[in-house]
């Protein structure tokens, strides 16, 4: 009989640590709710001691997401563990996840502790966490470079101290699949009491082997896999959740395991995470990339038309991607629009959110002859998941040319009134950003600017992602329009609104 593999999603903790990724509390909650619909068993909601924003996000998720286990990360330090429990105590299924480094190189150069000191600290902190929370996970950081005999010993003593989950991290992505599988098998064979806990793995992708190592671990007795949507994470990222899940499902002839993941929600989850983090998915990314189910070769196209299984080992529908597209236009009605939303995985929208989306759809249909699925997805992500708008673009005007200095005039509204300013710049986008700075009265640094066409054609929607910084903090903004200058202005103002929201939170206001 197939055995269950628990899916532990750490997109909101390790995934958000991707360089350039940034999420506010509202966005983290939306992702957590989608992960709940996806069917993950555990959500690592954050690292509460890291910042007030992280603490707030973990607490909000614990209060609002009830089905999965909600996990908070903590170093093997009493202050960290207290803060973690303070954040997750409201969860229906709380878990404290504490860790300490165990490899010789980490103990000597990072911790500056002797092995016996590390053993003692691990036992003390797991025991302490157990007094607060029944479910305690322990990770020996840099586990794959830890001496096996020391790894076995520390795992045994934390089991005795009350740990319920043991997680073996390949922290620097160093292991090979056979090697990692052997390590997991060795733990199964040599650690007393291992049969009484869940054995988990957490693999990084520095050598591109995170998914392969995770699958090797499953074959050798791991019961839980820690992973992220789209493989986000530190450096080269983590094991990609969607790849692990679909590998187990597609190759059920080799893997006698199953997960509770609702695979039809994979594509929706992937696009939401990509949109909110500003981390775009490469076209040839397995499972969720735009080319994953595309066929250009004539030979491939002929085979697909004869029988899809000739070149597709899984169906687009199995991950929630509809193969046939219904083209909507300005004459399409509300019923057809709502049905399309459901087919695209937006069945959880409120009536008010549907009304807003339908108005936006009608506005876009007046500008485009046909509105495609990706246009609708972009509209929902841009409008329904938007933060409160402190400032809003009312008007912009551009004067630009190859013999002119670009000039932009903008009108910005807020609850205090309307502000109009003009500025010159190195091109129309730069001029618009400078005019917005003047109108709002802020000084920020533009760290990154990214423009992509949502669909093809000269009337395509343009989606702009900007990253701005202020006092070392990064804020990501997004804007959508058939006019790339308008999309750029919206994205820039969206980032500023997020910055203001975060600053209000730091000043003690609810975010």
Torsion of Cα atoms, 272 then 277 then 283 then 289, to 10°: -30
Percentage of residues of the chain with pLDDT beyond 90: 67
Q: Which residues contact 45 (CB under 8 A, 6 or more apart)?
A: 12, 13, 28, 32, 57, 58, 61, 62, 70, 71, 72, 87, 88
Per-residue confidence (pLDDT) for residue 511, from 0 to 100: 24
Per-residue confidence (pLDDT) for residue 184, from 0 to 100: 98
Instruction: Look at residues 347, 312, 319, 322 and name the one whose alpha carbon lies nearest to residue 263.
Output: 319
Per-residue confidence (pLDDT) for residue 298, from 0 to 100: 47
Mean pLDDT score of the chain? 89
Q: Where, residue-wise, is CATH 3.30.160.270 in the chain?
A: 392-506
Residue 502, pLDDT > 90, answer no
pLDDT tens, position by position, 263-287 = 999 999 999 999 889 888 998 999 9
What class has domain 392-506? alpha beta
Per-residue confidence (pLDDT) for residue 405, from 0 to 100: 93
| Range with the poorest average pLDDT among 117-131, 145-159, 352-366 | 352-366
Split at pLDDT 50, 70, 90, the class of 294 is: low
Per-residue confidence (pLDDT) for residue 360, from 0 to 100: 79
Q: Which residues contact 415 (CB under 8 A, 6 or more apart)?
A: 390
What class has domain 3-277? alpha beta
What is the distance between the alpha carbons of residues 230 and 290, in angstroms, rounded to a whole number? 13
| Range with the poorest average pLDDT among 389-393, 425-429, 458-462, 495-499 | 458-462
pLDDT tens, position by position, 108-128 = 999 999 999 999 999 999 999
Per-residue confidence (pLDDT) for residue 223, from 0 to 100: 98
Q: Where, residue-wise, is CATH 3.20.20.70 in the chain?
A: 3-277
Instruction: Look at residues 459, 466, 456 and name the one whose alpha carbon lies nearest to residue 488.
Output: 466
């Amino acid at each position: 009989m197939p055995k269950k593999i628990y899916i532990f999603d750490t997109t909101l903790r390790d995934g958000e640590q991707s360089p350039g990724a940034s999420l506010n509390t509202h966005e983290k909650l939306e992702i957590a709710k989608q992960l709940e619909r996806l069917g993950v068993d555990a959500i690592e909601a954050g690292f509460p001691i890291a910042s007030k924003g992280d603490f707030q996000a973990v607490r909000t998720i614990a209060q609002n997401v009830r089905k999965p286990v909600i996990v908070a990360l903590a170093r093997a330090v009493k202050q960290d563990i207290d803060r973690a429990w303070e954040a997750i105590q409201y969860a229906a299924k709380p878990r404290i996840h504490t860790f300490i480094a165990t490899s010789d190189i980490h103990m000597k150069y990072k911790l500056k502790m002797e092995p016996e000191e590390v053993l003692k600290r691990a036992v003390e902190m797991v025991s302490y966490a157990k007094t607060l929370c029944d479910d305690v996970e322990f990770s020996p950081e840099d586990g794959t470079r830890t001496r096996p005999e020391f790894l076995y010993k520390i795992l045994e003593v934390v089991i005795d101290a009350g740990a319920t989950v043991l997680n073996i991290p390949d922290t620097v992505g160093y292991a090979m699949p056979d090697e990692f599988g052997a390590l997991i098998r060795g733990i199964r064979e040599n650690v007393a009491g291992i049969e009484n806990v869940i054995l988990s793995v957490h693999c990084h992708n520095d050598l591109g082997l995170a998914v392969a190592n995770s699958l090797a671990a499953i074959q050798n007795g791991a019961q839980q896999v820690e992973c992220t949507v789209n493989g986000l994470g530190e450096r080269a990222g983590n094991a990609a959740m969607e790849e692990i899940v679909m590998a187990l499902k597609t190759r059920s002839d080799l893997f006698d395991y199953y997960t509770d993941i609702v695979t039809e929600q994979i594509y929706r989850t992937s696009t939401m995470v990509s949109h909110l983090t500003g981390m775009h998915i490469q076209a040839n990314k397995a499972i969720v990339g735009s080319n994953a189910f595309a066929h250009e070769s004539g030979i491939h196209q002929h085979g697909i038309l004869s029988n899809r299984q000739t070149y597709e080992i899984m169906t687009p529908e199995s991950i929630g991607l509809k193969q046939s597209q219904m083209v909507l236009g300005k004459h399409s009605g509300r019923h057809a629009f709502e049905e399309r939303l459901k087919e695209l995985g937006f069945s959880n929208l409120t009536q008010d959110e549907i009304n807003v989306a339908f108005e936006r759809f009608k506005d876009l249909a007046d500008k485009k002859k046909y509105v495609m699925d990706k246009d609708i997805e972009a509209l929902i992500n841009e409008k329904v998941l938007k933060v409160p708008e402190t400032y809003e673009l009312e008007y912009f005007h551009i004067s630009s040319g190859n013999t002119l200095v670009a000039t932009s005039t903008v009108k910005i509204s807020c609850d205090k009134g309307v502000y109009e300013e003009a500025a010159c710049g190195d091109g129309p986008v730069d001029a618009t950003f400078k005019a917005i700075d003047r109108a709002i009265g802020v000084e920020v640094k533009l760290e990154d600017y990214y423009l992509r066409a949502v669909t093809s054609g000269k009337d395509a929607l343009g989606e702009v992602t900007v990253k701005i910084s202020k006092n070392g903090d990064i804020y990501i903004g997004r804007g959508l329009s058939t006019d790339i200058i308008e999309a750029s202005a919206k994205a820039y103002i969206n980032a500023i609104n997020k910055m203001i929201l975060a600053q209000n939170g730091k000043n003690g206001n609810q975010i």
